Structure 1
Amino acid sequence: MLPDTKIFKRGLVVGKFSPLHLGHEHLISQAEAECDELVLLSWSKPELPGCESNRRRNWLQKRFAHLPALVLDDHALQQLAQDHSINAPRLPDNDAPDTESRHFVGWVCEKLLHYRPDVIFTSEDYGDGFAEELTRYFLERENDTPKIVHRCVDKARQIVPISGTALRQDPHTLSAFLAPEVYADFVERIVLLGGESTGKTTLAAALAKVLNTHWAAEYGRELWEAQNGHLQYSDMLHIAQKQIAREETLAASARRFLVCDSSPLTTYFYSLVMFERAEPELVQLAERPYAQVFLCAADFEFVQDGTRRNNEFRLTQQRWYQQQLAARGTPYTLLQGNVEQRVQHVLMVLDAPRSPNLA
């Protein structure tokens, strides 16, 4: 039997994780290697752009699902305090005095986690003071509390030379320092809408080539063709869910943008047209936000490919999109002209250059 190489019983890592980058992951992995148990704690007040609590919670779940992780914001803190029938202190601001933040960590460990760490892991100079203050917190409650140790990992950033500040400023250039699951949340989803035979698919492929990224093909059309034009009501929600899953998968390896050929809003339209109803979950998914919405105009001759209806239906669908986007308060850009004109219009809106290999 191999000897137990763990140095500590209970470890703690506290961070904003805004965003969770490979430097954080190295720190957490090192802590995990040295501890029998490890808990992750995160909060940021205010939340930093692109790193809201729900995202940070998802990142930790995806990258460290086997570790207990507590991500707090004001709402989550009050809810947990209510669940424990206790009063919660104020969630410290990011610029709060060190003693306030460290006392808060002690309170969370004692009251919410019921967990007294033996060691805290950081990559910062403040770690020694943090460990001393945390020790003091527990000594005030138990006289025989052992000293909490500080373990500093890669303080010079030699192993992973990156900072959260730099990544927030330019996550795309520095994407190599983010796990794909994390970078996916910084990829801007742009969606193309439009009636049948308005050139969405041709434009999606052209944009992906020019932007040197991926495009998410329309799953509903693929299923329609695979089932010889016979879709069931139960297929509608499945199509929307599959379309979203396809977007999320492709976003992990996309470059800055992901071009989406249709969205759950499209599926919602067809559910109403074909079955005069839609599942509540589909209605909710139809609200899915995108960084940019482009509506392809029906300004060229209708092309019948054997699966489409007719020009009258195309125009009806166009009006429906316009009405829906207006009702939802969703800004959109109307694209007209040929493919090249539409590509140029999109690039102007995105303020994005062509791929240097394709210019």
Structure 2
Amino acid sequence: MKQFRTGLVVGKFSPLHLGHELLIQRAMAACEETLIISYSEPELPGCESYLREQWLRARFPQAVVLVLHNDQHALPHNDADALVHRRLMGWACVHLLKREVDAVFTSEDYGDGFAAELSRYFGGRPVHHVMVDQARTLVPVSGTRIRSDPHAHRAFLSPEVYASFVQTVCFLGGESSGKSTMAEAMAARLETIWAAEYGRELWVEKDGHLVYEDMRHIGEVQQQRERQLRGQANRFLICDTSALTTLFYSREMFDRVDSALEDMAQLRYDHVFLCAPDFDFVQDGTRREAGFRQRQHDWYIAELQHRHIPYILLSGALPQRIAAVLEHLDVYFTPSYTSLVKNSPLMT
């Protein structure tokens, strides 16, 4: 038997960090059922409501999660009077979650007043306040500090949350256009990881004898890799290809495309680079010929334009291409990190 039947944790969770997670874990340990409510007006950059809901459900699937979305509810400003916020939470518990709570868990002085107002809202039902790590000694961080640079403070974020701050960098290109070389090189330059091309691995494994059903499987595995690796990456996840490549080969080899693969090809990446076929074609035993490479390159250009996907064309030798990518990504670095990357021995 736990101490309380129903506990409540409320927060902006912008972003959800390990201090918040400690608070929720304490509530879950003390309560038979834990309610988590999140809202923010205005939304804080990079912590929009759909992301907060995704984070909370991923980290606490056994809790009851309610995220109030701004486009569905008239929410008070974050700086509104405390009484307005407390009564909103009472209303949300009764009318949206159909529950009253026995305890609220906070790390703030306002917790006693919050519990008292909920008690009044519930008609005098006792509501206890449980204080957790008020001095922030167990998890010395704040949402404001993390928002200033999520990458510098990633140690305070779970991988599921940090993944939302990682930008995806996708390299596309015809056969023997340097795509995989660029992906691996950029992962090294940016001190991060890359999602290798599963389609090529399966081609080798099956000695080139792919069947139509393999196309959907390739797309699924590729995107699954990207999802798994994103939380382990450092600022950027480098992606060697996208479902567009698999879609191209499905049309080329089988003259048809699975509808699920069509849906996968809708996935957008933060940065897309197309490698130009401007050096000698290299036959490695798995490729077609130089003419096919050019046709594939032309298809990428037409398809990217048709889908209104911005991209940057990379041409020239490897150092020139790396420099072009770094110049484009420069705006996404903090000044200190940009200097570190540009002056790294890896750039020589």
TM exceeding 0.5: yes
Q: Distance in 1 between matches of 2:342 and 2:227?
A: 24
From the superposition, tell whether residues 180 and 358 of structure 1 become closer, same or farther in structure 2 (CA, over 3 Å): same
1:89-128 alignment, distance < 5 Å: 90-128=74-112
For residues 208-240 of structure 1, the C-alpha deviation after alignment (integer angstroms, 9 at most, x for no partner) is 111111011001111111111122222112111
Shift of 1:346: 0.8
The residue type paired with residue 34 of structure 2 is L
TM-score relative to the length of structure 2: 0.92
Tell me the distance in 1 between the aligned counterparts of 2:308 and 2:229. Answer: 27
Following superposition, the deviation at residue 304 of structure 1 comes to 1.0
Deviation at 1:61, TM superposition (A): 2.0
Q: Is the 8 A contact 1:47 1:53 kept in 2?
A: yes
Aligned-residue sequence identity (percent) comes to 54
Counterpart of 2:113 in structure 1 is 129
Whether 2:114 is the aligned partner of 1:138: answer: no
Indicate whether 1:278 and 2:257 are aligned: yes
1:158-202 residue CA offsets vs partner (Å, 9 max, x unmatched): 110111111122010100000112111111110001111100111
The C-alpha deviation readout for 1:277-335, integer Å capped at 9, x for no partner, is 21222112112111111111111011111111111111111111111111222211111
> Is residue 206 from structure 1 mapped to residue 185 from structure 2 by the alignment?
yes
Residue 175 of structure 1 is matched in structure 2 by 154
Deviation at 1:149, TM superposition (A): 1.6
Match of 1:63 in 2: 59
Task: Give the 3 Å change call, closer, same or farther, for CA 95–265 of structure 1 in structure 2.
Answer: farther
- Following the alignment from structure 1 to structure 2, what is the Cα–Cα distance between the partners of residues 19 and 158? 19
Greater shift after overlay, 48-57 or 204-213? 48-57
Corresponding position: 1:189 with 2:173: no
Tell me which amino acid in the other structure corresponds to 2:346: L
Q: Tell me how far 1:357 sits from its aligned partner.
A: 6.0
Q: Contact (CA 8 Å) 1:45, 1:73: kept in 2 or not? A: no
TM-score when normalising by structure 1:
0.90
Q: Corresponding residue for 1:287?
A: 266
**Native 8 Å contact 1:240 1:264 kept in 2:** yes
After TM superposition, which residue ranges in structure 1, 4 or more long, deviate above 3 angstroms?
354-359
Bigger Cα displacement from structure 2, 197-206 vs 65-74: 65-74
Contact 1:194 1:200 in 2 (8 A): yes
Alpha-carbon distance in structure 2 between the residues aligned to 1:50 and 1:300? 40
CA distance in 1, matches of 2:77, 2:207: 58
Question: In structure 2, what is the equivalent of residue 73 of structure 1?
Answer: 69
Structural mapping, 1:137-286, within 5 Å: 137-139=121-123, 145-286=124-265
Alpha-carbon contact 1:211-1:354 (below 8 Å) kept: no
Q: Report the AA paired with residue 153 of structure 2.
A: L
Query: What amino acid is the match of 1:120?
Result: V
Deviation at 1:123, TM superposition (A): 1.2
Residue 154 (structure 1) shift: 1.2
* Counterparts of 2:68 and 2:204, CA distance in 1: 46
SS in structure 2 of the partner of residue 358 of structure 1: helix
Aligned positions, number: 338
**In structure 1, what is the Cα distance between the partners aligned to 2:342 and 2:105?**
44
With 224-233 and 44-53 compared, the bigger mean Cα shift is at 44-53
1:326 aligns with 2:310: no
Which residue identity lines up with residue 38 of structure 1 in the other structure?
T
SS of 1:49's partner is: coil
Q: Do the aligned partners of residues 282 and 94 (structure 1) sit closer, same or farther apart at CA in structure 2, a change above 3 Å counting?
A: farther
RMSD (Å), alpha carbons: 1.6
Aligned residue number for residue 50 of structure 2 = 54
Are 2:342 and 1:358 equivalent residues in the alignment?
no
Aligned to 1:31: 27
Matched-pair contact (CA < 8 Å) for 1:210–1:355: no
1:44 Cα shift?
2.1
Deviations 1:138-161 (A, max 9, x none): 12xxxxx32212112112211101
**Structure 1 residues 238 and 93, CA, compared in 2 at 3 Å: closer, same or farther?**
farther
What are structure 1's unaligned runs of at least 5 residues? 78-88, 140-144
In the TM superposition, residue 72 of structure 1 has moved relative to its aligned partner by 2.3
Does the residue aligned with 2:346 lie in a helix, a strand or coil? coil
Deviation of 1:356 (Å): 4.0
Aligned-partner residue type, residue 14 of structure 1: V
User: Would you say the 8 A contact 1:211–1:355 is kept in 2?
Assistant: no
